[in-house]
Structure 1
Amino acid sequence: MLQQILLVEDDGSISEMIENYLTKEGFHIVHAEDGVKAIEAFQNERFDLVLLDLMLPELNGMEFLKIIRQRSTVPVLIVSAKDSDVDKALGLGFGADDYIAKPFSMIELLARVKSAIRRANQYSSPAKQEPISVHELTLDLENVRLDKKGKEIKLTLKEWEILKLFFMNQKKVFTKEQLYQSVWQDDYYGDENIINVHMRRLRKKIEDNPSKPRYIETLWGIGYRLGEF
């Protein structure tokens, strides 16, 4: 699906230039030439970003910004020639995310647009994570719960992180260094004992026969991987 931008600009030549350029770059542009029409468009469609001129007829950009901030956190990039109004929109709690001053280059505008959308996506709520099942084990990522044949198995935080790492990377082989860095978030100095202890305890909880593990296999001299069933 194309990312959709609401362009609120009353200058026809500027709006046409922006719309043509961003359309060629793969965006879908909805244009509104005044604040009232912009509100109508915003109520009827979903947008990934708003490009907003502040000097608008009917309803100015600042009023439009206050209205949409009551219902949405969509990123807003101000396009304006008046530094004083930009300062107000950015600094007085109106909720703009960034601005670009007129005149501007299309390359700079595109970079600002992509950056604002990328930041918004990074901080948006993550999608619901579905449980992951491997043979008789089910890892419920939303509720931080492990079940085996429908019965809950209690794990420590590190045991959970180890198992989650393997479940989410089912084809990957992890060396002890990679495992330590991923789970403990620290440099590995060759001390295998901490990994061995946690792996032994985890296997006692999840394996039918811990001495012959099937869920987390040891590749001697290499590391570990999730078993195949």
Structure 2
Amino acid sequence: MTRILIAEDDLEIAYLERDYLEMQGYQVDVLHDGGLVESQLQKEDYQLLILDVMLPNKTGYDICRDVRDQVDFPILMVTSKQETMDVVRGLGLGADDYISKPFDPMELVARVKAHLSRYQRFHKPVNKEELTVGNLTIYLENWKVEKDGKEIKLPNREFELLVYLAKHPNRVFSKEHLFEAIWGYDYVGDSATVTVHVNRLRDKLGADLIETVWGAGYRLTV
């Protein structure tokens, strides 16, 4: 059974999220203290984390930053803040999606289903194909990336973006094209999300991996 962890200090919202997700057949655990999230993630095998930004003892931002390189499953951040910089900050720390309060519980369920579907699809062995880009080896079968033989953990969207660019080397794609290809039309956001994820890939895999073609977009040069 798919297991989800919710970290939310508003009891009414937390239990509403839990009830709707349990009605869809998911097993859900709830925490109200940000300081307990990391230890809980080590105790159980989760497939998705719903993370409120404003938690006691440790904020959602700090939790996302600290656990993102340890887990590869989707992280959805929930907050009452709606400013653009809050969204960019959450995505920059590795969150896969962002939803603002108040929200329709069925929208949350739809987001959860979409992210779990992507996660499970990428973790299901379909072939043994590998992509090699310079000193990088991308293993499509088990969603693994190695740089100079050392594994580099990438969350969902970063891996999908890297694979898409690696499958089309030396080709320039606009931010809008990449956003539609990786995030899809139904994602609540804009093409600025692409820039955030490109920068994260550069930080992890090398600043010269993805080239910015001014006025046109990005390309992975081989």
Normalising by structure 1, we get a TM-score of 0.52
Alpha-carbon separation, structure 1, partners of 2:60 and 2:12:
19
Deviation at 1:102, TM superposition (A): 0.6
- Asked whether 1:32 is paired with 2:57, we answer no
Alpha-carbon separation, structure 2, partners of 1:70 and 1:40:
15
Task: Give the equivalent residue in structure 1 for 2:3.
Answer: 4
Q: What do the CA deviations read for 1:32-57 (whole angstroms, capped 9, x no partner)?
A: 11211111110111111101101111
> Contact 2:76 / 2:98 at 8 angstroms: preserved in 1?
yes
Q: Read off the aligned partner of 1:6 and give its amino acid letter.
A: L
Deviation at 1:68, TM superposition (A): 1.1
> Contact 1:5 / 1:28 at 8 angstroms: preserved in 2?
yes
- Asked whether 1:44 is paired with 2:38, we answer no
- Alignment size in residue pairs: 127
> Contact 1:75 / 1:97 at 8 angstroms: preserved in 2?
yes
| RMSD between superposed Cα atoms in Å | 1.9
Task: Give the equivalent residue in structure 2 for 1:89.
Answer: 90
Structure whose CA Rg is larger: 1
Deviation at 1:24, TM superposition (A): 1.4
Residue 78 of structure 1 aligns to a residue whose secondary structure is strand
Deviation at 1:123, TM superposition (A): 2.1
Task: Give the equivalent residue in structure 2 for 1:106.
Answer: 105
- Unaligned runs of at least 5 residues, structure 1: 130-141, 143-229
Q: What do the CA deviations read for 1:120-153 (whole angstroms, capped 9, x no partner)?
A: 1222262799xxxxxxxxxxxx9xxxxxxxxxxx
Aligned 1:41-190 pairs, distance under 5 A: 41-83=40-82, 84-90=85-91, 92=92, 94-124=93-123, 126=125
Alpha-carbon separation, structure 2, partners of 1:87 and 1:120:
22
> Contact 1:54 / 1:85 at 8 angstroms: preserved in 2?
no
Alpha-carbon separation, structure 2, partners of 1:35 and 1:71:
17
Normalising by structure 2, we get a TM-score of 0.54
> Contact 1:80 / 1:86 at 8 angstroms: preserved in 2?
no
Once the two structures are overlaid, the 10-residue window that deviates more, 58-67 or 117-126, is 117-126
Q: Runs of 4 or more off by more than 6 Å in structure 1?
A: none
Q: Read off the aligned partner of 2:3 and give its amino acid letter.
A: Q
Percent identity for Structure 1 against Structure 2: 36
> Contact 2:20 / 2:106 at 8 angstroms: preserved in 1?
no
Q: What do the CA deviations read for 1:164-209 (whole angstroms, capped 9, x no partner)?
A: xxxxxxxxxxxxxxxxxxxxxxxxxxxxxxxxxxxxxxxxxxxxxx
- Unaligned runs of at least 5 residues, structure 2: 129-140, 142-222
